[in-house]
Amino acid sequence: MSNISIQGLSIRLGSADIIHDLNLEVQAGEFLVLLGPSGCGKSTLLHSIAGFIEPTDGSISIGGSDVTWADPKDRGIGMVFQSYALYPTMTVAQNMSFGPRIAGVPKAQIEARVNKVAEMLRLSDLLHRKPANLSGGQRQRVAIGRALVRQAQVLLFDEPLSNLDAKLRTSLR
């Protein structure tokens, strides 16, 4: 895991100031939760760290490297969206292994990672199914699994447990 350093970050979308002059330090291995009302900028901040929204001002560093203007693929981020964002034509195993496959990780290593994470998330029996044949909670676990299998420097979760039942939500926490 890597640290994140945000200095003077401002994000303006249209005529609206979403984030103004934010400074934030998250240490390597630290677990940080952002709380606030709907529309206060939590998702916007995560999308900016991931590189999906460009800042109006300020800088974002991950692991000591300035990534403010880097492409999302070059930031070492694993992101889980509330909306799953799964590839509908791929199986659970293919969705979970997508990032490491693209990165050229050896097949045996990918398979071991997928099996370990699938067991942890109770997905082992579903590895050959496609997203259309899964419940909402199962889809969300696949999205979480995909981020974990990547072994990214930073994991960003945007309401990752909201589609899970109470018992599973508690277990995954």
21-40 confidence digits (pLDDT tens): 999 999 998 989 999 998 89
The per-residue pLDDT for 1 is 74
Q: What are phi and psi of 149, to 5 degrees?
A: -65, -30
Domain extent, residue 163, equals: 92-172
Let me know whether 96 and 168 are in one domain.
yes
6-22 confidence digits (pLDDT tens): 999 999 989 999 999 99
Let me know whether 160 and 111 are in one domain.
yes
Between CA 118 and CA 114 the distance in angstroms is 6
139-162 confidence digits (pLDDT tens): 989 999 999 999 888 999 888 777
Do residues 53 and 44 touch, judged by C-beta distance below 8 A? yes
Does the residue 83 lie in any domain?
A: no
What's the longest Cα–Cα distance across the chain?
50
The per-residue pLDDT for 6 is 98
Does the residue 146 lie in any domain?
A: yes
This prediction has a pTM of 0.83
Average pLDDT, the chain: 91
DSSP one-letter code for 164 = S
Q: How many CB atoms lie within 10 A of CB 62?
A: 23
Q: Of all residues in the chain, what percent carry a pLDDT higher than 70?
A: 98
Does the residue 10 lie in any domain?
A: yes
Residues in the chain, total: 173
Does the residue 86 lie in any domain?
A: no
Residue 3: closest CA among 30, 33, 31, 27 = 27
Let me know whether 97 and 145 are in one domain.
yes
Q: How many domains does the chain have?
A: 2
Let me know whether 107 and 161 are in one domain.
yes
pLDDT at position 71 over 90: yes
38-53 confidence digits (pLDDT tens): 889 999 999 999 999 9
Do residues 11 and 53 touch, judged by C-beta distance below 8 A? yes
Let me know whether 44 and 96 are in one domain.
no
Task: Give the residue with greater pLDDT, 168 vs 134.
Answer: 134
Do residues 90 and 98 touch, judged by C-beta distance below 8 A? yes
146: region left, alpha or beta (phi > 0 left; psi from -120 to 50 alpha)? alpha
Q: Once rounded to an integer, what is the mean pLDDT over residues 103-110?
A: 94
The per-residue pLDDT for 52 is 94
